[in-house]
Structure formats: C-alpha cells, structure tokens
Amino acid sequence: MFHKEGYFIIITTFIICTAIVLSAEYFIGHKIAKVVVEIGILIALILVLQFFRNPTRNTVINDNHLLAPVDGKVVIIEEVFEKEYFKDQRLQVSIFMSPINVHVTRYPMSGKVNFSKYHPGKYLVAWHPKSSELNERTTIVVENEQFGEILYRQIAGAVARRIVNYAKVGDTAVQGEDAGFIKFGSRVDLFLPVGTDVNLVLDQVVRGGETVIAEK
C-alpha cells in the first residue's frame, strides 16, 4: 500500500524511468553500460516506492496511552521552554526519520484539535538544534482528558520540501489515524507536560501508531 501523497510522484517516476530504460535500449550500444543504467533506474524507482509506502499498523486505541506519531529514532528527551503555544516548560521528545523510514504522521492520541498552524522556513538538517524553530514546519495541538494538551510539530529536513498536514482546528483526532506526511527526510517533536513518564530512551527505534511512548 502506498500513501496518497505519493501517487503523482510514483506515476511520474515510473514514466520517467520507463522512458530512460527504453532510451538506453535504443541509444546505448555497450552492454555493460546499458545494464548499469538500467540497474540505477531500478534502484531509483525502488527508493521512491519504499519512501511512499504506507503499511497497515496494529494500533490499539487507548486514551491512557500516548503513541509515537512516526517511525524513526528518538534523538531528544529533555525539558525545554516551548514558546509558540504553551509559552512554558515542556518535556520535548524528538523522533528523527531518515529517508528510508515510513513518513506517515499519525495522531499520537485521540482528542480535539485545538491548534494547527503552518510555518514556512529553512531546510536545515533535521537534527540541527534550531530546525524546530527555523525550518518549514507545522504545529498541531491535540487535547484529551487524560493527557490534557499535547503538541506535536512536523519539521522538514535538508531534503524535505513539503509537509502535508491534515489536522484542522475543531477536528476530532483518532489515535493512530493518518494525520499527514512529510516528503523526503524529517523530524517530529512532541511537547508533553513536565513530569510525563515517558517509556523511551535515546536512540530507541519507534513505530508510528504502535510504540507507546507514555501512559497514564
């Protein structure tokens, strides 16, 4: 299964790859050179297909659980001052996604969407300390009775050039459901109430919609 945000790119890539392979068959006489070109094109197509894959996840909806919103590696767990929405101290958990990770963003919990805002910006590498403030990003706040308000932020990386966010103010978020997509490398930051007991360690690999990162 592929994510709908990738349909156009997948079709375009397939057409381009097919045209290049046919051209190689016609114009390149050297057999080894022809094989090298065709293998390179096949690898490029496979990379695009794997990037836009959208695997089914076994999400167990539980209002007492906060789930990882994306696949990737935990790179930050620290208390910080969140200055866009809360304007107070929060526990930041950041998950870095490499180009080979699934890039679907999923709602970490069920609840009401209270805030959703897009910010244009730069394209620093996603692990840069300032990427959360300077890069292209979206900020979304979801609220429920168990956790109160939690904020998650989709952040574009050095390669990413488009963030897709489906969350709109007033929407009812359903834990584990598709909340957006970030194209080609990125990071997601979560800002939780100080004192939240997270079930994570640095460098841990998590799966969006399945890994429990905190519980009440």
Give the active site residues. Answer: 186
What's the one-letter identity of residue 96? Answer: F
Q: Is 69:188 a contact under the CB 8 Å cutoff?
A: yes
DSSP annotation of 1 reads: -
Rounded-to-integer distance, Cα 42 and Cα 31, Å? 17
DSSP annotation of 109 reads: S
Buried b (16+ CB within 10 A) or exposed e, 183-199: bbbbbbbbbbeeebebe
Among 86, 72, 59, 215, residue whose Cα is nearest residue 154:
72
